[in-house]
Amino acid sequence: MAASAERINSAKGILAARLRAIRTDAGLTGRALAAQTSMDHTKISKIENGTQMPSQADVSAWCTACDAEEQITDLIAAIQNIDAMSTQWRRLEESGLGHVQRTVLPPYEKIQWFRIWQCSVVPGLLQTAGYARGHLRAVIDFRGVPDDVDAAVAVRLKRQEVLRDGGKRFAFVVAEPALHAPLAGPEEMLAQIDRLVELTAGVANLSFGIIPAAARPLMTPPENFWIYDTSRVRIDTVPGRLQHRAPGDIAVYERTFERLHGAAVYGHDARRLLEGAAERFHAA
C-alpha cells in the first residue's frame, strides 16, 4: 500500500500548494485569511502544509475571501478525489474484489453515456466469464487481497446487463496489444475474441473500435480510463482507481477520447485485427 500512500500524499501536497498560492495571490497573510473565514490561523497553516485536509466548506470560504470563487469547483473535486483514493484500496483489502465491484453497480444504472479507453485489457463490460476470471485472478494474486474470485466474476457479469439498456450509449476503444495479452487460457481467449467479433457487426447503442498497433494517434495515454457522462472520469492505476471530477480535467480526457475514437478502426477492419489475435491462440 506504500504506492497508494505516496500518491495520496502527493495529491494532498498539490491541493495545499494551490490553496497557499490563492492566498498569496490575494495579498493576504495567514492571519488575515483566518480573520475573514473564521478559521483559526493555525488551521490555515496546517492546511497549507498538507497536515490537515480542508473541508469543502473551508475551501469555499477560502476562495471567497481571496476573490477566487471560480476555483471552488475544481478544488472541491480535488478533495473528493483524495477521499476516494484514501478509501478505495483499504476497502479492497478488507473485503475483496466482489465488494468493490458491487459498489459501482448503482452508478452504472444512472449513467447514460460511457466512453471507455482500454490499452491493456478488454473492458470489464465486454469480458466473457473465462476472461474475467483470469483477469480478476491476476488482480487478486498481485494485490494479495481476499480470494473471492467467484463472487467478483458474478458481479462483473451482472454489471453487463447495462448494455441492454437502449437508453444508454457506449463507446469502447481498445489498443490492439490488449487483444494479445494472455490473461486466460487459449480456449478462454478465443471465446473472448469471438465475443468482440460479434460487436463489430454493429450494435445500435454501442461502438467498438481498435487502435492498430501500427497506428500513431496524436495521443495514446498509458492508463485505462472511463468517462461517465460529462460528470467524472475514472482512471485505473497500479495503486488504485482515481476519480477526476474537476471540469478542466474531464475536458482533457474528453479531447483525448475524441482523438482515440477517430484513430480507431471499426467493422471489417476491426474484425481483421481480431482474427489476427485469434490465430495466435489457435496456435497455442
Q: What is the CATH number of the domain that holds 18?
A: 1.10.260.40
Same domain, 77 and 105: no
Same domain, 195 and 123: yes
Same domain, 116 and 32: no
Task: Give, to the nearest 10 degrees, the angle between helix 2-25 and helix 41-48.
Answer: 130
Last residue of some domain: 41, 72, 88? 88
Domain assignment of residue 19, given as a range: 2-88
- Residue 2 confidence class, pLDDT cut points 50, 70, 90: very low
Same domain, 78 and 52: yes
Assign residue 205 the CATH number of its domain. Answer: 3.30.870.10
Share of the chain above pLDDT 70, in %: 87
> Is 93 a residue whose pLDDT tops 80?
no
SS3 assignment, position 117: strand
- Which residues are paired to 173 by β-bridges? 117, 209
Whether this model's pTM surpasses 0.85: no
Same domain, 68 and 199: no
Closest by CA position to 131, among listed 44, 204, 46, 193: 193
Same domain, 120 and 249: yes
- Residue 87 confidence class, pLDDT cut points 50, 70, 90: low
pLDDT tens string 201-247: 888 899 999 999 988 766 778 889 999 999 889 887 766 677 788 88
pLDDT tens string 8-40: 777 888 899 999 999 999 999 999 999 999 899
Same domain, 58 and 118: no
Among 86-95, 123-132, 240-249, the range scoring the smallest mean pLDDT is 86-95
C-alpha cell at 112: 447514460
